[in-house]
Amino acid sequence: MFIMLEKITNTFSDVFRNIAGKSTISEKNIEDAVEQIKNALLEADVNLRVVRRFVNSTIEEAKGEKVLRSVAPGQQFVKIVYDKILALLGDKKTDLQLKGQDTISTILFLGLQGAGKTTGAAKLALRLKNEGRKPLLVACDLVRPAAIEQLSVLAEKIDVPIYKEDTKDAPKVAKNALTFAAKNGCDTVIVDTAGRLQVDEDMMAEIVQVKKVCNPVETILVADAMMGQSVVDVAKAFDEALSLTGVILTKFDSDARGGAALSLKSVTGKPILFMGTGEKLTDWEPFFPERIAGRILGMGDVVSLVEKAQETFEEEEAEKLQKKIAKEGFSLQDMLDQLQRVKKMGSIQNILEMVPGMAGQIDESQIDTSVMKRQEAIILSMTKKERENHLILGPSRRKRIARGSGTSVGEVNKLIKQFEKTRLMMRKFSKNKGLQAQFMQQFGGK
């Protein structure tokens, strides 16, 4: 799977390996790296306008303070590129906008001939069926001779009902299919339509009529990922005539160059909802921008780099904290800041989601954050004055804090004791660089 992005991935890996290890990078380094990336994108057949926008915004951001002045500028640079690629792909996974199962939701599939509409309709039906919905497949491709038969065979394979008629009137079929769905308790109607070899007026006119009749919640362009950037013009034409709500990319298992995936979202503004990944009816997956971005940038390598970039940022914050402690001592407010910073790193879970084999394997409950949450609640229940000077925390204040944070006086006492110990340690070792790490560790534990 994913042969299609291999080439572009190789380039990214080279560029990153080169730049990530540098302890300082110049504007020239950034420009060179971005130039290489630009060529890789163009070679992958990404739309020129998309490439230009990507290049400009990356250079601008990479030349900013945060990168050039940071401890590990190469890593920050990689993170910026990752974020931009992710944005190209649509940031977050988008779900189908289906209505509740007490009404009928119609999904209209359209696209050029051979794009994968008919196969895709069956693949989606299978998926929805497995999710507990009751799909109905509708054969509205009345142009290609064997089209109805093709859908019938697929429907039978996945044991999903099909609605078909011996006619050339597609809108009529769509209309009758809805009645059929209502009578037979189907809640999701997937309408397969006729494609042409290229965008053509007759086809558009017919699908516009079909759309009017069936009032779909989703009007989805099914596009072949092997088409490269020419898919962009096709998408635009369909969108103008039919107001698309989303896109499905098929043949992701091919060795296409990836241009379509990287162009479609940003040119059309429509989310990529699913991808077809093979000939089998189960070769169908939701489109996860994070996974694809990780994949494009060379997965393993880049994931760890992005993670490191995040850590480096933490390190810089920690360094600032050290300086402050050396001067003023460590306060409960500092402890709160630390807790909250550690909590933010929860996003590491998201990063792990992109590692092959890890996706879906991580159980939120396995990451124990409850201790930290309680500690945070305790400090949050203190006044500013108390956070600055723990010495004023007498019994009645502790009781109030326990009540305010929904914890016990015992827990408050424990936290203050832990704080005092840490504070002492901090003072002793405030010039010791390894201390922050130790400190963090201590908090993670019980």
Helix (H) or strand (E) holding 276: strand 272-276
| By the rule CB under 6 A, 276 interacts with ligand GDP | yes
| By the rule CB under 6 A, 277 interacts with ligand GDP | yes
- The sign of the dihedral angle between the CA atoms of 423, 428, 432, 434 is negative
Scan residues 141-200 and list those touching Mg ion (CB under 5 A).
Answer: 141
| By the rule CB under 6 A, 195 interacts with ligand GDP | yes
CB 355 within 8 A of CB 381: no
CB 80 within 8 A of CB 61: yes
C-alpha to C-alpha distance for 45 and 395, rounded to whole angstroms:
69
Phi, psi dihedral angles at 253 (to 5 degrees): -85, -5
The binding track of 40-69 with respect to ligand GDP, each residue x by CB under 6 A or -, is ------------------------------
Question: Residue from 47, 58, 106, 250 that binds ligand GDP (CB under 6 A)?
Answer: 250
**From the CB of 136, what's the least distance to Mg ion, in Å?**
17
Burial 47-72, CB ≥16 within 10 A → b, else e: beebbeebbeebbebbbeeebbebeb
By a kind-dependent CB cut-off of 5 to 8 A, residue 250 interacts, out of Mg ion, ligand GDP, none, with ligand GDP
Strand 162-163 with 218-224, pairing: unpaired
Residue 318 neighbours by CB distance under 10 Å: 19
The binding track of 198-237 with respect to ligand GDP, each residue x by CB under 6 A or -, is ------------------------x---------------
Residues pairing with 109 in the sheet: 192, 220
By a kind-dependent CB cut-off of 5 to 8 A, residue 286 interacts, out of Mg ion, ligand GDP, none, with none
- Closest residue to ligand GDP, Cβ-based? 276
Contact stretch for ligand GDP (CB under 6 A) within 20-28, 112-120, 201-209, 386-394: 112-120
Distances (CA, A) of 251 to 119, 216, 353: 11, 25, 23
Amino acid symbol at 328: E
Contact stretch for Mg ion (CB under 5 A) within 139-147, 224-232, 289-297, 306-314: 139-147
Question: Residue from 118, 268, 312, 436 that binds Mg ion (CB under 5 A)?
Answer: 118
**From the CB of 223, what's the least distance to ligand GDP, in Å?**
10
Q: Write out the residues near Mg ion by the rule CB under 5 A.
A: 117-118, 141
Q: Write out the residues near ligand GDP by the rule CB under 6 A.
A: 111, 113-119, 195, 222, 250-251, 253, 276-279, 283
